[in-house]
């Protein structure tokens, strides 16, 4: 039987995903370029899918005391991989807000990976463990995509300003 602590963890996870979705949605809504808008919209949509999965699990745990089957719902909500093309990187580089948004989003994704990894390691219920492992992997993918953009933006800015020591 899964206890109150599990419900609290699920509530924290849902809140984390809501904050991420709202952040990405705001970035998408303010983006002038379609490619940048699409990137942030995909990230918001991914987080919305996570909210739904976690909310469904919250209801199941509350009613039945255990995690339910979430895999079919997860497969149906799995977004397409975001393509990190040169246009996206150039457009983000051109906007201070979107560049700052990438940096801030990395912090949110790191917190999500830590929470989900910790819960996957602590979970005794196989369904709970599998859900948190899947979420940790998904958020790691987000983090890696954002980190790649951030690295390339940093290198580009360094090149443009002759910051290289050699």
**CATH code: domain of residue 101:** 1.20.1260.10
- What is the domain count for the chain? 1
Q: Mind listing the pLDDT tens digit for each residue in 125-152?
A: 999 999 999 999 989 998 998 898 888 7
- Percentage of residues in the chain having pLDDT higher than 70: 77
Q: Is the predicted pLDDT of residue 36 greater than 60, yes or no?
A: yes
Q: Which domain holds residue 122?
A: 4-160
* Residue 166 belongs to some domain of the structure: no
Q: Is the predicted pLDDT of residue 1 greater than 50, yes or no?
A: no
Residue 134: per-residue pLDDT: 92
Q: Is the pTM of this model over 0.75?
A: yes
* Residue 127 belongs to some domain of the structure: yes
Neighbours of 28 (CB within 10 A): 20
Burial of 67 (0-12, 13-18, 19+ CB in 10 A): buried
Q: Mind listing the pLDDT tens digit for each residue in 89-123?
A: 666 665 577 778 888 999 999 999 999 999 999 99
User: 């390691």: which residue's tokens?
Assistant: 121
* Residue 25 belongs to some domain of the structure: yes
Residue 150: per-residue pLDDT: 83
Q: Is the predicted pLDDT of residue 60 greater than 90, yes or no?
A: yes
Longest dimension (CA), the chain: 63
- 10 close to 58: Cβ distance less than 8 angstroms: yes
CA distance 142 to 120: 18
Residue 105 CA, distance from chain mean position: 8
Q: Look at 34-38, 45-49, 87-91, 116-120 and tell me which has the smallest mean pLDDT.
A: 87-91
């Amino acid at each position: 039987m899964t206890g109150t602590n599990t419900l609290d963890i699920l509530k924290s996870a849902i809140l984390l995903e809501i904050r991420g979705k709202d952040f990405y949605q705001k970035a998408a809504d303010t983006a002038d370029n379609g490619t940048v808008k699409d990137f942030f919209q995909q990230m918001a949509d991914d987080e919305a899918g996570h909210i739904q999965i976690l909310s469904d699990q919250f209801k199941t745990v509350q009613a039945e005391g255990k995690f339910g089957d979430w895999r079919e719902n997860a497969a149906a909500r799995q977004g397409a991989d975001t393509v990190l093309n040169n246009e996206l990187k150039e457009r983000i580089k051109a906007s201070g807000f979107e560049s700052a948004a990438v940096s801030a989003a990395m912090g949110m994704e790191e917190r999500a990976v830590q929470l989900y990894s910790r819960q996957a390691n602590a979970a005794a219920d196989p369904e709970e463990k599998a859900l948190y492992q899947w979420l940790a992997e998904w958020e790691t993918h987000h983090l890696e995509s954002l980190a790649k953009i951030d690295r390339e933006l940093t290198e580009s800015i360094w090149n443009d300003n002759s910051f290289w020591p050699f």
